[in-house]
Structure 1
Amino acid sequence: MAKSETHYVLPRPEFDKPVKLLIVVAPYYKDIADDLIAGAKAEIEAVGGSWDLVEVPGALEVPTAIAISDRQSNFDGYVALGCVIRGETTHYDTVCNDSSRALQLMGLQGLCIGNGILTVETREQAVVRANSNDQNKGGGAAAAALHLVALARKWGGQRKGVGFRAPTDPILLAEKSDGSTTV
């Protein structure tokens, strides 16, 4: 296996208000998922942040869980974790492409998401990438989400509190043609 090339890593962002991320993981390969989670938790805690964790059946369900959470809770950002190892069928391509595309589309809509879903050829590649003492892709995904949260706060301020929405907060269902909204 080729040694990974060194690369520049941005300094950790600093936060003057609490930051809370949701880690969404597909633990299909439990040992690999556990290493990714450990890296993500450590990175979030290193900036004084907090996190919650949910498990979903597979990588295709990770974006759906993030979308549900965004509608029903107040996390500042999200860390998507899992592992897809190439098999004998084209299912690998579908899972890799569709989960990545869904996460990217939500990111383009303003969600702060770090994508740590590994897409690898072999289990050995996954182990190296997940290990927090090696490539630490879980920590990298958390760092990406934290950097995006910092940018969102810099440019737009914090729009959400930390935790779940109070029952009195309106849920906006639709926008009228005049720009007003229906509750």
Structure 2
Amino acid sequence: MAGASHYIIPLPEFDQPVKILIVASPYYKDISDHQVAGAKAEIEKAGATWEIVEVPGALEIPTAIGIAERMSNFDGYVALGCVIRGETTHYDTVCNDSSRAIQLLGLQGLCIGNGILTVETYEQAAVRADPDQMNKGGGAAAAALHLIALARKWGKAEKGVGFTRDILMAGSSDNADKA
């Protein structure tokens, strides 16, 4: 029986250049190579440019993204790695912590496509990474591109959380006039 089909949103179009950082963990080199190939193709299809950096493992991916956000000028990020279940609970720690860290970065406003595979077997990873099969690297790149498009649509946040300096200053000058 064939799997259920799913709808894929068309790639966004951009009127300004888009620069994406691919952060890949080549722990399983052939899996990583397929993920990266899929991500690069999707980014290029949207007319964007990319740079790539490699880190030792999935846990280092969010840290590298955080450093890049503070010290560079990327519009978005693609996180690529693979965690295959082993005999210990280390799998759970790596899967949960890398995913949670990426989600927290996203909630801070970073545009990240999460393509860290979390699988039971090498065979599952191979199918998901292959650009001619499930192409999860391309999917992660598309997710980053869609988030960048949303961020550009809505623009930079100019309103703060809580009281702004102008409100505080206005309140203090009103009080000073009454004194």
Interval of TM-score (by shorter of Structure 1 and Structure 2)? 0.7 to 0.9
* Residue equivalent to 1:55: 54
* Residue equivalent to 2:125: 126
Give the aligned residue type for 1:132.
Answer: P
How is 1:1-16 mapped onto 2 (pairs within 5 angstroms)? 4-16=3-15
* Residue equivalent to 2:88: 89
1:5 is displaced (CA, Å) by 3.1
* Residue equivalent to 2:66: 67
**3-state SS of the aligned residue for 1:48?**
coil
**3-state SS of the aligned residue for 1:70?**
helix
Alignment gaps of 5+ in structure 1: 159-176
1:82 is displaced (CA, Å) by 0.3
User: In the aligned structure 2, how far is the partner of 1:3 from the partner of 1:83?
Assistant: 25
**3-state SS of the aligned residue for 2:104?**
helix
**3-state SS of the aligned residue for 1:147?**
helix
Q: Structure 1's 92 and 157: CA in aligned 2 closer, same or farther, altered over 3 A? A: same
Bigger Rg, structure 1 or 2: 2
Give per-residue Cα distances to partners, 1:123-180, cap 9 Å, x unaligned. Answer: 000000000000000000000000000000000159xxxxxxxxxxxxxxxxxx9759
Give per-residue Cα distances to partners, 1:89-137, cap 9 Å, x unaligned. Answer: 0000000000000000000010000000000000000000000000000
Give the aligned residue type for 1:94.
Answer: T
**3-state SS of the aligned residue for 1:153?**
helix
* Residue equivalent to 1:27: 26
TM-score normalised per structure 2 = 0.86
TM-score normalised per structure 1 = 0.85
Alignment gaps of 5+ in structure 2: 158-162, 167-179
User: In the aligned structure 1, how far is the partner of 2:3 from the partner of 2:98?
Assistant: 25
**3-state SS of the aligned residue for 1:7?**
coil
Q: Structure 1's 62 and 41: CA in aligned 2 closer, same or farther, altered over 3 A? A: same
Greater helix content: 2
User: In the aligned structure 1, how far is the partner of 2:33 from the partner of 2:76?
Assistant: 20
CA RMSD of aligned residues (A): 1.9
* Residue equivalent to 2:75: 76
* Residue equivalent to 2:16: 17
Q: Structure 1's 14 and 178: CA in aligned 2 closer, same or farther, altered over 3 A? A: closer
1:84 is displaced (CA, Å) by 0.1
**3-state SS of the aligned residue for 2:140?**
helix
Aligned residues between the structures = 162
